[in-house]
Amino acid sequence: MSAARPRPNALVWLLLSAAILIADQWSKAWVLSSLPEYEPVVVIDGFWNWYRTYNTGAAFSFLSDAGGWQLWFFTALAVGISGLMAFWLSRTARGHWRSAVPYALVIGGAIGNVIDRLMHGHVVDFIQWYIGDHAWPSFNIADSAIVVGAVGIALFGLFDGKAEKKAG
């Protein structure tokens, strides 16, 4: 009698996390070497600038003026969430991409911003969208991955949960 072969888990999706991390760090290195600080460089007039700025807090500069402790808090939070999501990936079937992709996006983005916090003491932001005088807070590739991943977790969780409830 042979033992049941374990089904492949979704840890292979960490390659997507690595790709996000590489793109994020490469883009930030480009920004730090090529863009002036706090001066917009127009990409699409009236909508999009490259705008090098720094964030010592979290989303929308939350706690950015808290005195320094927030660096370690957000670093620990990102590492903890990434570890939890990696654990969930290990418990997810490889083919269940609707769970795996959002987890991988959040992991890649979170670790990208952790690297910034540890290397620079802040996160490098450089994408600025605006209309007229109304500007969205600057962000980066890691932030984008985190947002898309979080939305995916919420949406796929909602729809998968409804489908399972309806089937059951």
Q: Is 125 known to be catalytic?
A: yes
Of residues 51, 47, 48, the one with CA closest to residue 39: 51
- 24, 133, 143, 160: the active-site residue: 143
Contact indicator for 117, 124 with CB cutoff of 8 Å: no
Q: Is 116 known to be catalytic?
A: no
**Dihedral of CA 57/63/66/70: which sign?**
negative
- The torsion angles phi and psi of 53, rounded to 5 degrees, stand at -145, 175
- 24, 45, 116, 125: the active-site residue: 125
Helix axes 97-120, 141-167, angle to 10 degrees: 150
Active site residues: 125, 143
